[in-house]
Structure 1
Amino acid sequence: MSSSVSLLPALPELAELESLLRQAGPLLQQHELGQVAVGGGSLPLLALTLGNPDPAVPAVGFFGGVHGLERIGAEVVMAFLASLISRLHWDSSLHRMLESLRVVFLPLVNPGGIWNGTRANPRGVDLMRNAPVEAGPGVSPWVGGQRLSPRLPWYRGVEAAGMEAESQALCDLVERELLSHRQSIAVDCHSGFGLADRIWFPYAHTARPLPHLAEMHALCQILDQTHAQHRYVFEPQSRQYLTHGDLWDHLYLQACARDDCLHLPLTLEMGSWLWVRKNPKQLFSRHGMFNPLVSHRQQRVLRRHIAWLDFMLRAAAGMPRWLPQGEQRARHEQQALQRWYRRSAGA
């Protein structure tokens, strides 16, 4: 690992990644996507891959740490990665699954922001407002992204400067490892919105239904059937607010422009207000607004979401079995329009 020695002790997540790589051995491949300058040194952008790289098999990616304040997102992805690595040594069913699945991890998309304890990257840019996607009418005035100053929240960056290094590295990784496959899923883990755990799908820039609404509804249905008591609210992000520059909208649109490419991006938005309600003292900590600070509550959060990430791993491997076709696809689209947009297909 080529991280800065002076910064590594200050960022335990990188030390944990190094330890996981040693445990995994040759089955897990490491890819350095670049370096991020911070604090007089630099931190690496590290991606990890395992499984079958054949474009004919489905692929799934797990991402965390896009916002540096939301450490729990990175911790959930790292904990799931650790659980997979531990199973590699004994779980023959996992090995069989990996023969027909490509798996990608980028647990620390914004290592500089995590090191600084900021939502934005070290240049003050909110990476989830940084893609070249413009929202339509109804975009939230500030939360939706602004170009006035990096000293203000939700800064999108300079319009003509292109994407930040971290945003571009994520997009390049997704295009290379996920969009190169005929079918793929991406899961990006965040925290900080509301009292419920939400699973968001595109769009974030418009309230218009996405072209693969039927596929999203089919995925939601198998989650409901498999985990009947789950507490996730599965919905389009546009039901809550609209934003400029969403990375997953950008990548989904890139996928739609390709022939024979189905890509379903999801964002896990953990409801951090619930942690604050149970422990009001967290209001006095910047990290407490976005992370469970009590140890037993953090462990409970990790256990719950690791189970969902494992479901997503299996759902990706089984995409050829549950993706709707023909009349079934039309039924799913109709049900999705009624469930999430309160209208019928002909409306």
Structure 2
Amino acid sequence: MIQRIYHIKRALPELFELEKLLEDGRQHIRVSVPTHIPQQDVQLPFYVLEMGSDAPLAPTLALIGGVHGIERIGTQVILSFLRTLLRRLDWDPVAHEQLAQIRLVMIPIVNPGGMWHNTRANPNGVDLMRNAPVDALHKTPFLVGGQRISKHLPWFRGKKDAAMEDENIALTQTMEQVFANQKHCISLDCHSGFGSKDRIWFPYAKSLLPWPNLAEAYALTEMFEHTYPSHDVYLFEPQAHSYTTNGDVWDYVYDRYCQHQPDGLYLPLTLEMGSWLWVRKNPRHLFRYHSLFNPILPHRHQRILRRHFTLMDFLMSAVRSMPSWAPASVEEKAGLHRRAIERWYPESLHQP
């Protein structure tokens, strides 16, 4: 039985809503709490939700939000998707059939302490997306790429040689557990705040060079764009096209996955919702730090909550059907890799 912490409803409405959904959907959701994050007089739970198949080798899709506490809209998008999915399960046999074929994992609030304080970093002042033990292979932008100068400056990585923050330990260990022995998996980490276009990023954040699974990323991109030609809200690209960083958690999880499962396929994706468009449409966003990362007008907020349903539903189908669309032969992968290079690295075609 979920014990809701009523007195934090105002500070953390997303946690309050999540726990209400856990109660409503308890017959469909398997819940675990690998850690708690201390905050004042409460222990904030780090919730991990599982739905669908519990078979050890079930294709797995993970939806993650709230890594940066200020970017509440990422958590809200996942909760909105979860709410709709639970209501579909009340009447839709297709939803039951779809879930029976995959394992769906959700971690809606990775950084509950940061969300409590409405800050990007966790309560220790550490940016969780700069905190993994990964050093960039190419030059990173000053501060933005991760810094160890001070926790009072943004993008603080944490002290050198220190262990990862508790939130990241729980996140990465959970990912390793749910992906263990799994050959087909995708994750989507929901963020906001960069650019005026919604982006779907894939690794590496640490390197300007093409990612080893570039061919598979291209196949997924082409499949989405061909299937939903009118849903042209996303720019699919390597993250390093925007900027490189140290300490990227998904670089770390991906590299660990490849070490343990070299024959598997894992595609870590990041949804970066372009909040600059919200600012451009409504300059009032400039006067509140919170509104730089989250829509404030009710109609725009509702539009963002439903905007990404198509993507999440697509990923549920895509992870289930990975064997049918991922390149199966060396020749097929090489062909897709060439087309990916033409799309994302055209300048390399003209280099001697």
TM-score higher than 0.5: yes
Give the 5 Å matches for 1:1-347. 1=2, 4=5, 6-229=7-230, 230-259=232-261, 260-326=263-329, 327-342=331-346, 343-344=348-349
- Say which is worse superposed, 83-92 or 123-132, in terms of deviation: 83-92
Residues 168-205 of structure 1 deviation map (CA, whole Å, 9 limit, x = unaligned): 11101111112441110000000000110000000000
List 4+ stretches of structure 1 deviating above 6 A. none
> Aligned pair in 2 of structure 1 residues 28, 72: CA closer, same or farther (>3 Å)?
same
- Say which is worse superposed, 107-116 or 95-104, in terms of deviation: 95-104
| TM-score where L is the length of structure 1 | 0.96
- The 3-state SS of whatever aligns with 2:33 is strand
- Output the amino acid matched with 1:84: L
Asked if 1 retains the 8 angstrom alpha-carbon contact of 2:57 and 2:181, the reply is: no
Residues 77-125 of structure 1 deviation map (CA, whole Å, 9 limit, x = unaligned): 1111111111111111121122220100000000111110000000000
5+ long unaligned stretches in structure 1 = none
- The 3-state SS of whatever aligns with 1:190 is strand
- The 3-state SS of whatever aligns with 1:160 is coil
Compute the displacement of 1:7 (Å): 3.0
Asked if 2 retains the 8 angstrom alpha-carbon contact of 1:3 and 1:42, the reply is: no
- Say which is worse superposed, 8-17 or 99-108, in terms of deviation: 8-17
- Say which is worse superposed, 113-122 or 17-26, in terms of deviation: 17-26
- The 3-state SS of whatever aligns with 2:27 is helix
5+ long unaligned stretches in structure 2 = none
Compute the displacement of 1:56 (Å): 2.6
Inter-partner Cα distance in structure 1 for 2:213 and 2:351: 17
- The 3-state SS of whatever aligns with 1:281 is helix
- The 3-state SS of whatever aligns with 2:43 is strand
* Alignment: residue pair count: 347
| TM-score where L is the length of structure 2 | 0.95
Inter-partner Cα distance in structure 2 for 1:204 and 1:14: 30
> Aligned pair in 2 of structure 1 residues 179, 226: CA closer, same or farther (>3 Å)?
farther
Compute the displacement of 1:8 (Å): 4.6
